[in-house]
């Protein structure tokens, strides 16, 4: 079930993207907090609590009163596109490379001509993607921790409050990685796998919006994986945040694992197309 | 037998890529696969390796079933695909190093020796190599594996003449070392010069099997007859077929040694005598030209060939 040579190669393949995202996530919390601190809290509260219609609170996921605090403002960093998109891109790019990427490049045949099980190739890729995701979330949390501890709002916020939020990011990455790997295992073209996952991403975003904005279509929100990605609701501290995280990441990681498992079964049995 | 298939069939919906293919390859043999594009050669090889699952029939290598024991099959096999694709971001030597970790029977030093022999610069990145260079790199990797069976799908494709000669020498060396080689090619001269036996595939069917040693004994003699032909000696009747044309020419097809026949020929009133070996091209053309090259005109059963091996 394991191949050291493939492990090293997979890490080599994801090194560039991993380093790029690590640098991005290492810098982002500092930049975000630096820019947020430019807006005084009173001014921010004025905008949020008075200028924006109350109906729009539904989009936030938490009451504006919670957002209009130092903790709330830091938590918004986890729903910023820099974090959400990067997390999704990691999962989709690495997951899609598991099978359809290698089939499209034609390298799968040389690889599987060797005495290595298909499961080993697939599992090694899955583990590398997941460990990479964990490393990136570690970098993100370390950057948030240091930015909160030593940044412009030093002393006002407990950085440990954001650990569940960073773990929720990990759940999202595993979810997208697993879904991408599952689709990849059924496909022969990486571009098509990525396209399908992009469509899924857009659908999930829209489903969450519809579910939030429409009472009669609230059930649509449950079709979105982003319904389990709510880091801004995990910064309240205490046992409740961890319980909520367990539910959210349970869903996200569960979906991811299901995608990986289905992909593994399909890949181990399918015919491999010859390279074009 | 090291490789056996029994009524091996692969269909994709209504399309039959390979139909009831039964063959056996002995240990130490160089076995050729010949056929036009789409004949089923690569399908056969990929079925043997377990890349695709047969619709029906069985295949085995070294006693291991290709379907259920694919891992053991691949432990006993080194495979060069027809389109060898390698990892583009790696350099040549990194590719050769990578496979060191994949197989216990892979010799890194031997891979480098083969690469040097094929005059390949392993410092170059795969993405910056030409098609021929990538082919050489793949060959260096495959020929460095010490296993009972080598499967080479068009190994000389995209190679310059010098490299092509080296590859064929390496195949001969593999045979001398006791290894079995399955060799697929479009180049008839390579098959004739390298293989012990060859099968011809057409439209997914195995239509002919030929021993190269038997083929080398076959000759075609054409001549103009200036008088009566005379009686063929009885001892030559089983190995000679005679055809007299309307224009006074006669054609003899000889399946055995010419030595016994030459004496009888010398007694005949022949002119414009021409003796030529029956090459693989003649047999190949018989199966692939008569039907217009598209397989549609062939009957379901293999054609009864005047060139059937005796």
Please give the average per-residue pLDDT across B229-238, as a whole number: 81
Output the CA torsion sign for A126, A128, A134, A136: negative
Mark yes or no for CB contact B75/A115 under 8 Å.
yes
Mark yes or no for CB contact B83/A113 under 8 Å.
no
Residue among B51, B53, B89 whose CB faces A112 most closely? B51
Q: How many domains does chain A have?
A: 1
Q: What is the CA radius of gyration of chain B?
A: 23
Please give the average per-residue pLDDT across B208-235, as a whole number: 85
Q: Residue A54 has what pLDDT?
A: 67
pLDDT at residue B298 greater than cutoff 50: no
Q: How far apart are CA A80 and CA B220, in angstroms?
A: 82
B114 burial via Cβ count (<10 Å: 0-12, 13-18, 19+):
buried
> Residue A153: which domain range?
4-269
A82-137 tens-digit pLDDT: 999 999 999 999 999 999 999 999 999 999 999 999 999 999 999 999 999 999 99
CATH tag, B3-213: 3.40.50.300
Mark yes or no for CB contact B42/A274 under 8 Å.
yes
A274 within domain boundaries: no
B68-94 tens-digit pLDDT: 999 999 999 999 998 889 999 999 999
Instruction: Domain ranges for chain B, please list them.
Output: 3-213, 219-277
Strands B180-184, B149-153: pairing kind: parallel
A276 within domain boundaries: no
Inter-chain CB pairs, A–B, below 8 Å: 67
Q: Residue A57 has what pLDDT?
A: 66
**Residues near A144 by beta carbon (within 8 Å), at least 6 away in sequence:** A29, A74, A77, A159, A162, A166
A79 within domain boundaries: yes
Query: What number of other Cβ atoms are within 10 A of residue A57's Cβ?
Result: 17
The residues facing B209 across adjacent strands are B199
Q: How far apart are CA B164 and CA B155, in angstroms?
A: 8
Per the CB < 8 A criterion, the answer to whether B212 and B197 are in contact is yes
Tokens of B1: 């037998």
Q: Residue A192 has what pLDDT?
A: 96
Q: How far apart are CA A242 and CA B34, in angstroms?
A: 66
pLDDT at residue B62 greater than cutoff 50: yes
In chain B, what residues touch A113 (CB-CB under 8 Å)? 49, 74, 77-79, 81
The sheet that has B56-61: what strands, in order across it? B15-25, B3-12, B56-61, B64-65
- Overall pTM surpassing 0.90 (yes/no): no
pLDDT at residue A1 greater than cutoff 90: no
Per the CB < 8 A criterion, the answer to whether B86 and B138 are in contact is yes
Q: Which segment of A1-15, B240-254, B292-306 scores lowest on mean pLDDT?
A: B292-306
Interface ipTM > 0.95: no
Q: Residue A61 has what pLDDT?
A: 66
Q: Of A74, A239, A252, which is closest to residue A168 (Cα–Cα)?
A: A252
Per the CB < 8 A criterion, the answer to whether B79 and B3 are in contact is no
Mark yes or no for CB contact A4/B101 under 8 Å.
yes
Chain centroid to Cα B76, Å, comes to 20
């Amino acid at each position: 079930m394991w191949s050291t040579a493939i492990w090293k190669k997979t890490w080599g393949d994801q090194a560039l993207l991993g380093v790029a995202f690590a640098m991005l996530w290492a810098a982002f919390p500092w930049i975000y907090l630096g820019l947020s601190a430019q807006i005084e809290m009173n001014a921010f509260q004025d905008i949020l609590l008075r200028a924006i219609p109350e109906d729009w609170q539904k989009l936030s996921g938490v009451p504006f009163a919670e957002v209009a605090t130092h903790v709330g403002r830091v938590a918004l960093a986890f729903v910023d596109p820099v974090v959400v998109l990067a997390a999704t891109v990691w999962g989709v790019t690495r997951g899609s490379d598991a099978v359809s990427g290698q089939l499209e490049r034609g390298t799968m045949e040389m690889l599987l001509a060797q005495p290595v099980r298909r499961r080993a190739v697939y599992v090694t890729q899955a583990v590398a993607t997941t460990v990479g995701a964990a490393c990136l979330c570690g970098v993100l949390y370390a950057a948030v921790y240091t930015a909160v501890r030593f940044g412009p709002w030093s002393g006002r916020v407990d950085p440990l409050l954001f650990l569940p939020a960073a773990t929720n990011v990990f759940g999202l990455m595993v979810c997208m990685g697993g879904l991408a790997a599952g689709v990849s295992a059924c496909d022969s073209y990486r571009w098509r796998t990525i396209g399908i996952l992009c469509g899924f991403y857009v659908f999930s975003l829209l489903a969450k919006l519809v579910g939030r904005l429409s009472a009669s279509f609230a059930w649509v929100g449950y079709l979105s994986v982003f319904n389990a990605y709510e880091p801004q609701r995990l910064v309240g501290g205490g046992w409740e945040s961890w319980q909520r995280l367990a539910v959210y990441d349970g869903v996200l990681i569960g979906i991811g694992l299901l995608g990986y498992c289905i992909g593994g079964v399909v890949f181990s049995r399918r015919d491999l197309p010859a390279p074009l | 037998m090291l490789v056996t298939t029994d009524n091996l069939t692969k269909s994709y919906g209504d399309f039959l890529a390979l139909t009831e293919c039964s063959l056996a390859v002995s240990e130490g043999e160089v076995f050729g696969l010949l056929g036009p594009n789409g004949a089923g050669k690569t399908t056969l090889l990929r079925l043997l390796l377990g890349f695709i699952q047969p619709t029906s029939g069985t295949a085995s290598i070294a006693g291991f079933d290709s379907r259920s024991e694919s891992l053991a099959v691949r432990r006993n096999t080194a495979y060069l695909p027809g389109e060898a694709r390698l990892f583009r971001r790696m350099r040549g030597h990194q590719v050769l190093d990578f496979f060191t970790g994949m197989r216990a029977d892979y010799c890194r030093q031997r891979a480098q020796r083969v690469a040097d022999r094929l005059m390949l610069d392993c410092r170059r990145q795969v993405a910056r190599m030409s098609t021929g260079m990538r082919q050489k790199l793949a060959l260096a990797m495959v020929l460095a594996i010490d296993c009972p069976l080598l499967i080479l799908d068009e190994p000389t494709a995209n190679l310059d003449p010098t490299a092509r000669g080296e590859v064929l020498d390496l195949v001969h060396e593999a045979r001398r070392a006791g290894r079995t080689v399955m060799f697929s090619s479009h180049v008839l001269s390579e098959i004739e010069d390298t293989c012990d036996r060859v099968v011809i595939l057409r439209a997914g069917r195995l239509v002919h099997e030929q021993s190269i040693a038997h083929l080398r004994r076959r000759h075609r003699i054409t001549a103009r007859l200036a008088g009566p032909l005379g009686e063929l000696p009885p001892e030559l009747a089983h190995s000679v077929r005679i055809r007299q044309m309307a224009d006074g020419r006669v054609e003899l097809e000889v399946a055995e040694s010419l030595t016994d026949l030459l004496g009888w020929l010398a007694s005949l009133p022949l002119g414009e005598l021409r003796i030529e070996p029956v090459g693989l091209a003649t047999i190949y053309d018989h199966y692939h030209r008569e039907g217009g090259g598209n397989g549609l005109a062939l009957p379901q059963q293999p054609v009864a060939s005047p060139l059937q091996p005796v």
